[in-house]
Amino acid sequence: MTTKRLINDQTGATAIEYGLLAALIAVASIVAFQMLGLNLATVFSTIASALGQ
C-alpha cells in the first residue's frame, strides 16, 4: 500500500469513533452514578437521624 493510499484509507474509522463515543458515555455514567450515590447517602443519613429522634 502506498503512503498516499494509507493516509486516505478510512477503513475502521467508524468503529473507532463508536468506541470513543461508548467510552465517553461510560465515563459520564460513572461520574453521574457516583454523584447520585453521594446524594443518596446524605438523604438516607438525614432520614435515619430523623427517625432516631
pLDDT tens digit sequence for 4-13:
777 777 777 7
- Hey, what's the torsion of the CAs at 23, 26, 32, 33, to 10 degrees? -150
pLDDT score recorded for residue 11: 75
Q: Where is 33: in which H helix or E strand?
A: helix 13-52
pLDDT tens for 1-44 read 577 777 777 777 788 899 999 999 999 999 999 989 888 989 99
Q: pTM here?
A: 0.60
Give the cell for residue 16: 473507532
Apex CA 39: angle with CA 35 and CA 42, to 5°?
A: 145
pLDDT score recorded for residue 52: 86
Residue 53 — pLDDT band, cuts 50, 70, 90? Answer: low
